[in-house]
């Protein structure tokens, strides 16, 4: 007996339009913000800066991507994957190397991905579906 029921039209989920933000847990928000600013190019969302008073998040952005930096002594990890084109994929490898950030690179046969972590151990992935262009460049 199955507990899954095929949704009817009236049970269909409302549409999700975007990822609003991602929670990232860090030991020190100020130090983390400096790293995200220097390495990944994030900027403070001024309109939401008041939230960082007390236990609220420090909200930062890079274009349409928003991260909410929460302070936490206990590590809580969620991998965040950013999508890029082939040109920017190569530029990110250079940027990480310039900042002496260790990374690994994986060929997933349909995508290429770079994996690295912030100073608090939060894992990140930069991935591209422009597989053949990256394969040719890496050869």
- Tokens standing for 117? 């972590």
Give one word for 134, left, alpha or beta, with left for phi > 0 and alpha for psi -120 to 50.
Answer: alpha
DSSP secondary structure string for all residues of 15-34 = PP-----EEEEES-HHHHHH
Question: How much is the pLDDT for 98?
Answer: 92
Residue predicted with more confidence, 3 or 73: 73
- Residue 116 near residue 96, CB atoms below 8 Å: yes
Residue 54 CA, distance from chain mean position: 24
- Tokens standing for 95? 């940027």
Neighbours of 37 (CB within 10 A): 14
Q: CA-CA distance, 23 to 68, in Å (whole number)?
A: 5
- Residue 40 near residue 117, CB atoms below 8 Å: no
- Residue 94 near residue 87, CB atoms below 8 Å: no
- 3-class DSSP assignment, residue 123: strand
Query: pTM of the prediction?
Result: 0.77
Over residues 36-54, the mean pLDDT reads: 93
Q: What is the DSSP letter of 13?
A: P
Residue predicted with more confidence, 85 or 14: 85
Question: How much is the pLDDT for 27?
Answer: 94
């Amino acid at each position: 007996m199955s507990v899954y029921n095929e949704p009817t039209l009236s049970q269909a989920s409302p549409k999700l339009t975007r990822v609003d933000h991602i929670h990232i847990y860090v030991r020190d928000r100020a130090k983390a913000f400096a790293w995200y600013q220097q390495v990944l190019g994030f900027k403070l969302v001024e309109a939401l800066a008041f939230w960082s008073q007390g236990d609220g998040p420090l909200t930062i952005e890079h274009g349409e991507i928003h991260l909410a930096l929460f302070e936490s002594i206990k590590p809580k990890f969620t991998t965040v994957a950013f999508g890029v084109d082939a040109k920017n994929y190569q530029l990110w490898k250079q940027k990480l190397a310039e900042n002496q950030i260790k990374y690994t690179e994986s060929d997933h046969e349909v995508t290429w991905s770079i994996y690295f972590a912030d100073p608090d151990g939060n894992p990140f992935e930069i991935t591209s579906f422009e597989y053949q262009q990256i394969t040719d460049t890496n050869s």
